[in-house]
Amino acid sequence: MGDFATFYANGGVFMHAIALCAILGLAVMVERFIFLFFRFNINGQQFFNQIQKLVMANNIDRAIKLCNAADKAALARVVKAGLTRANKSESDISAAIEESMLEVGPAINKRVPMIAAIANIATLLGLLGTIFGMLEAFRAVADAPADQRSTALARGIGIAMNTTGFGLMVAIPLLAAHIFISNLAKKISDEVELYSVKLENLLAARVRHS
């Protein structure tokens, strides 16, 4: 910790801005992971297989109860919207499913791009700190008294290197997290689209044969 405190102090004022990016990025990353992995996520194939069996057995009420048991999951919300219109026309079923998909879609992808944006800002702040550090080093060579020149030069180079290093230390984990969370969000979105179409076809066939 002592070495990091020295590293941080020698980086100058830009270290504070990069640290703020780290805190904000971590908060968004944790919030999105908890929301997507523990709330919106579900085993889509297993869930839909259960729904399909209940619909084919004409047990719509029990299928809706199954959706209520996982009411936080995106797929369950969309499936429930279709099931509540199961005895209506095909157009009503389709409209209900589409409306629900339009509601959950933005919620799935909410704030995910923000993680990559914060990582890019941290990198750019590190580069900006590098520029200011090098300018200070050049001024030290040109203007500082001879007995203070090496100290001033070392300070300028320290600002340049430390801000670049800290920016990358923040950006790299955030970009890695962004890849993981983006893939998780895409997986949930893909399952919602796939099984909503399957449900629509299943309910439409039920209506036609009723």
Q: Which of 95, 112, 87 shows the shortest CA–CA distance to 186?
A: 112
Query: Residue 175 and residue 171: Cα distance in Å, rounded?
Result: 6
Distance of alpha carbon 18 from alpha carbon 71, whole angstroms: 39
Higher pLDDT, 104 or 138: 104
178: confidence class by pLDDT, cuts 50, 70, 90: very high
pLDDT at 64 over 70: yes
pLDDT digits (tens, 9 = 90+) for 13-36: 899 999 999 999 999 999 999 999
Instruction: Provide the pLDDT for residue 1.
Output: 64
Pick the closest to residue 95 from 16, 204, 177 (CA basis). 204
Give the separation between CA 210 and CA 208, rounded to whole angstroms.
6
Cα gap 80→19, rounded to integer Å: 43
pLDDT for residue 144 is more than 70: no
Higher local confidence (pLDDT), 28 or 141:
28
Confidence band, pLDDT 50/70/90 cuts, at residue 98: very high
Q: What secondary structure letter does DSSP report for 210?
A: -
Domain boundaries, the chain: 12-209
Q: Where are the alpha helices (DSSP H) in the chain?
A: 2-9, 14-33, 44-56, 60-69, 74-83, 90-109, 112-143, 146-209
Mean pLDDT lowest for which of 74-78, 86-90, 143-147, 152-156? 143-147
- Answer yes or no: is pLDDT of 147 > 70: no
Residue at 172: amino acid letter? I
